[in-house]
Structure 1
Amino acid sequence: MTVLQVAAAQLSSGPDPIANLATATDAVQQAASEGAELVVLPEATSACFGTDLRSVAEPLDGPFAAGLRKVAADLGVVVVAGLFEPSGDGRVHNTLLVTGPGVETSYRKIHLYDAFGSRESDTVAPGNELVTFGWRDVTIGLATCYDLRFADQFTALGRLGAELIAVPASWGAGPGKEEQWDLLTRARAADAQAWLLACDQAYVPPVGTDPLGIGRSSVTTPLGQTSARLDAAAGTLHATIDTAVVAPIRARVPIL
């Protein structure tokens, strides 16, 4: 059994990675000062959608990742954050960097947002590998935003042993989109029979079809119950994750 203090730092990224790194650093420092051991930032923390993603893409040893790596190491916390890295085919990867003491991994978004008039695949190359990592005896899975619409990814993460799934997002606004976000975060937690910590970009008024965020970051139990949720504005959601509840739920309802 492990009890883990986690936080979703719901912020609003702009087009400048340098300014966004400063915002992300402040958010991580604040969350850590309030007891968080794992801090999840949104998808596209390094630069918002609508930016020329090729021009802001950096390798995982670039300055944005290095800045996150430093604050995580200095504070002794694990940070999960979205950035863009060159893909090698003229596009970029929509990547989650995970970094902290004894932890270093990344996940490239598998399911690209070719929906609601948006064409993420025009500029983003998909990943093809599920990723989990261990932190303080907890197995944590990773997914990004539009992945929430694909139940099999979360069932697979549950089968890989994930007890908590971190889901950074930059959810597109629009009719019914808040309800879909709420429904899908709950459903995917139940599919994985795992805790789910979803961190969205704070709400930004829509600009074309770019997904810029609606807020509503949340923590969901392995039974699909929302235990805490933010509103649309920037802020930090804190929660206690007790992994002791996961195994009994999976034993009683053996869907995995």
Structure 2
Amino acid sequence: MRVAVCQLNSREERAQNLTVARDLLERAAAGGAELAILPEYVDFLGKGSDTPEPEPVDGEFGTFFATAARELGIWVHAGSFHETGPDQNRTYNTTLLFAPDGTLTATYRKIHLYDVEIAGRVSYQESRTVAPGEETVVAAVAGVPVGLSICYDLRFPELYRQLAIAGAKVLVVPAAFMLHTGRDHWEVLLRARAIENQCYVLAAGQIGDHEPGRTCFGRSMIIDPWGTVLAQAPDAVGVAIADLDLERLETIRAELPSLANRRL
């Protein structure tokens, strides 16, 4: 399976963000990708007061990417967006996965919320405006089991172990990882999730500055089950593409059966 991770610098102009996302999906399709991954909050990064109105999964956002999947004939993982939440004060941070015919085949709501308070450095309480999801999701993409997650989930290995036990062979991580943590933790965590679960990891990140005064790390990458980085995006908007060798995955799992040998 050939896959692509798309790296954006989404900002306040939603229409422009979606235009860039569509262009990157077209580049992925032209490069032969069967599955393309977009980053977290692909349609908007900016001040909370300017956040687009939350939508249902079949709203404008979902329709846009369903159409892209159908017209390009590829699987589209639409990063994430602000889905209508359980109450007036909170949305869900939600991933949508579309088949090449435009059918919505999976929905995942981010489980772990980024609540951090470091005096004088970082103050961010995602749970004030976002409700946590409750269900893990493994979806079949062209017959391959794919486990879904979003950004901060990456720091919780128990989630990925559940996905691997449920049969996932590929783990997807759309993200808007901050520069100050990303430069030290992003690749380390991604490679760890790949190695310990003997899965491919596809991580699509936001890059660059956005309001209110934040910077995303980027370095979107594709990692094999041995922890080897197969492809990595440079520090710019763009696409990274690699081929997943599922026979190699089975060989790794057979020759180093750590996943099979677990006792907990």
TM (normalized to structure 2)? Answer: 0.89
What residue in structure 1 maps to residue 262 of structure 2? none
Equivalent residue for 1:94? 93
CA deviation digits over 1:87-107, x for unaligned, max 9?
Answer: 122201111111123552111
Counterpart AA for 2:165: R
> Of 183, 192, 201, which residue of structure 1 is paired with 2:188?
183
Give 1:94's aligned amino acid: N
Instruction: Give every structure 1 segment of 4 or more consecutive aligned residues whose post-TM-superposition deviation is greater than 6 Å.
Output: none
Give the gaps of 5 or more residues in structure 2: 117-121, 260-264
| 1:10 counterpart residue number | 7
Q: Distance in 1 between matches of 2:170 and 2:150?
A: 14
Pick one of 226, 249, 258 that aligns with 1:223: 226
Partner of 2:119: none
Out of 50, 70, 82, the residue aligned to residue 84 of structure 1 is 82
Root mean square deviation of aligned Cα: 1.8
Which residue in 2 is equivalent to 1:69? 66
1:147 paired to 2:144: no
Q: 1:205 to 1:25 in 2, by over 3 A?
A: closer
- Tell me which amino acid in the other structure corresponds to 2:111: I
Q: What's the counterpart of residue 134 of structure 1?
A: 140
The one-letter amino acid of 1:106's match is T
- The letter of the residue matching 2:193 is R
Is contact 2:46–2:210 with CA below 8 Å preserved after alignment? no
The two structures have a TM-score, normalised by structure 1, of 0.91
1:245 shift after superposition: 1.6
User: What is the alpha-carbon distance in structure 1 between the residues aligned to residue 50 and residue 69 of structure 2?
Assistant: 25
**What is the CA distance between 1:178 and its match in structure 2?**
1.1
Q: 2:33 maps to what in 1?
A: 36
Shift of 1:18: 2.5
Give secondary structure in 2 for the equivalent of 1:232. coil
Q: In the alignment, is the contact (CA less than 8 A) between 1:47 and 1:56 conserved in 2?
A: no
Identity %: 37
Shift of 1:56: 2.9
Report the count of equivalent residues.
Answer: 250
Instruction: Write the letter of the residue equivalent to 1:198.
Output: A
Aligned-pair distance for 1:41?
0.4
User: How far does the alpha carbon of each residue in 1:16-57 deviate from its partner, in whole angstroms, 9 at most, with x for none?
Assistant: 333222221111112111211101000000211534376432
Any idea what SS the aligned residue of 2:17 has? helix
